[in-house]
Amino acid sequence: MKSKRDLFFTTLLKQTNPASKPLVLWLNGGPGCSSVGVGAFNENGPFQPSGDILLKNDFSWNREANMLYLESPAGVGFSYSANKSFYGFVNDDITARDNIEFLQRWFDEFPAYKNRDFFITGESYAGHYVPQLAQLIIQSKLKFNLKAIAIGNPLLEFNSDNNAQAEYLWSHGLISDATFENLTSVCNNSEIIRQVRIRGGPLTPACDAVANQVESEVSGYLIDQYDVTHDVCLSSVEAQSFQLQKTAKIDVCIADETVSYLNRPDVQEALHARVTNWTTCSNVLKYDMKNVEVPMLPVLGDLVKSGIRVLIYSGDQDSVIPLTSTRTLVNGLAKDLGLQTNVPYRVWFEEKKVAGWTQVYSDALSYATIRGAGHEAPISQPERSLLLFTSFLKGKPLPKALTKY
C-alpha cells in the first residue's frame, strides 16, 4: 500500500468458499522478522520453498480462514520507509499505529471483509504486537469485527520469560547443575539479554563467564534453542559430512531456502514487491529494545475485560520462551481477573495421539501446549497447530477424546 511507509502484505484466501470464512491477520515477531517469509512460507501458508520449487503444505491455515500476512514495521522484509532515518527509532507505539492505519486502508480497499469475523494471531515478539494492536482497535472504536487473538510462545513478561530458560535447559540436560546454579545466583538470563540487547553491551565479567559456559554446554552450533529436539541447518560442506539437513518430515533448512526463493527476481516480480535484498529479519531496522521490558499482562487483561477472547499457546520444545513461564503468567492473569477455571488442566488429542495440554478460564482466556512443537509451532507440528487454530476460530474446546476433531 502506498504511503510514507509502505507495508508489504499478502492475502491467502481460504482454499474453498472464502466468502463465508473469517479473516485472520498473522504477525511474526523479532522485533523485525518477516510475517510473509517466516509465517506464510515457513509455517502456516499453503506452500514452502524447497530448492527451485514450492511444496504444498497440507496443513496450511488457509484451509480454515482467509489469511493476511503483514510485514511490519517498515524496514522488515519487503516493507520500507521513504524516510530512511525512520529505521533508527521504531518502537511498539509506532508499530501499532502503522498496523492499525494499514488495516483501515486494507478494509477500505477490500470492503467485502469489513463485516467478517476478524482474528489477530502471531508468535514470539508478536506477544507485544498482537495485544497492542487489538487494544488500539478497541480504544479507537473502529468497526472491525474483532473476535479474538491468539499468540504462540509470546514474550509477555521480560524477566519471567527469559529467566525460565535456565530451568528449561537444565531439566532437558542441556546444561550442568553448576551452570544452572550460576544462571540463578551469579547472572541470570534476563540480565545477560538486558546488558547485550537493551544496553548495547558489553557483558560484565561475571555475566560474560556465565554466558560463555552456557554456550559451551548447550553447543549452540548444533542445537536449535528454539526447538531443542531438532538439529540446526548446516552449510553445504558440513551437511555432506553430518547429513543433518533434513529429518523425515521437517526441512531444518527451510529458512535458508526461503531467503534464496524470495530473492529470486522472478519471485519478487510475481509478488509485486520492491526489488530488494530480502532478509528473514531486518538488517536496517533499529528497534527501541527498551520496549521488550514492557509487560503485556495488563494489556491482555484489558482485552479480556472488553470481551475479546484470548488464546495463548506454547510449543513445548522451545527453550527461548519456555512453556513454564507462559503457563504461570496466564494462570496468574486469570486469578487477577477473577476468572473461574471451567476446563481444568487436561490433555488434548490429535486423532489417537496426545497433542498437548490445555486449560480454559471462563471461556475468555485459554492456554494450551503443543506437544513436540518448537518456538515456531506450525513448522514442527503442522497438523496439531492447524487443529489448535481450527478450535480457536470456532471457539470450541480442544479434543479430549481419541477421535479426530
Q: Could you list the active site residues?
A: 124, 318, 375
Q: Which of 208, 64, 57 is nearest to 150 (CA)?
A: 64
Q: Give 101's Cβ-side CA count (13 Å radius).
A: 16
Q: How far apart, in whole angstroms, are the C-alpha atoms of residue 136 and residue 124?
A: 20
Sheet with 66-70, edge to edge strand ranges: 9-12, 66-70, 23-27, 118-123, 146-152, 309-315, 365-370, 353-361, 341-350
Q: Which of 239, 255, 226 is nearest to 50 (CA)?
A: 255
> Which parts of 141-204 fold into alpha helices (H)?
158-171, 177-185, 189-193
Task: Name, in order, each residue with C-beta under 8 angstroms of 154's C-beta and a sequence gap of 6 or more.
Answer: 122, 123, 124, 125, 126, 127, 130, 296, 312, 321, 326
Catalogue the E-assigned strands of 251-395: 309-315, 341-350, 353-361, 365-370
- For residue 374, the SS3 value is coil
Q: How far apart, in whole angstroms, are the C-alpha atoms of residue 370 and residue 385?
A: 7
- Cell 524470495 locates to 262
| Residue 114: all three cell numbers together | 469489513
Decide: 110 and 82 in contact? Cβ < 8 Å: no
Catalogue the E-assigned strands of 234-352: 309-315, 341-350
How many whole angstroms from its chain centre is CA 405? 24
Q: Which of 392, 367, 365, 389 is nearest to 378 (CA)?
A: 389
| Number of Cβ atoms within 10 Å of the Cβ of 212 | 11
Decide: 166 and 183 in contact? Cβ < 8 Å: yes
| Residue 207: all three cell numbers together | 555475566
What type of residue is 74? Answer: A
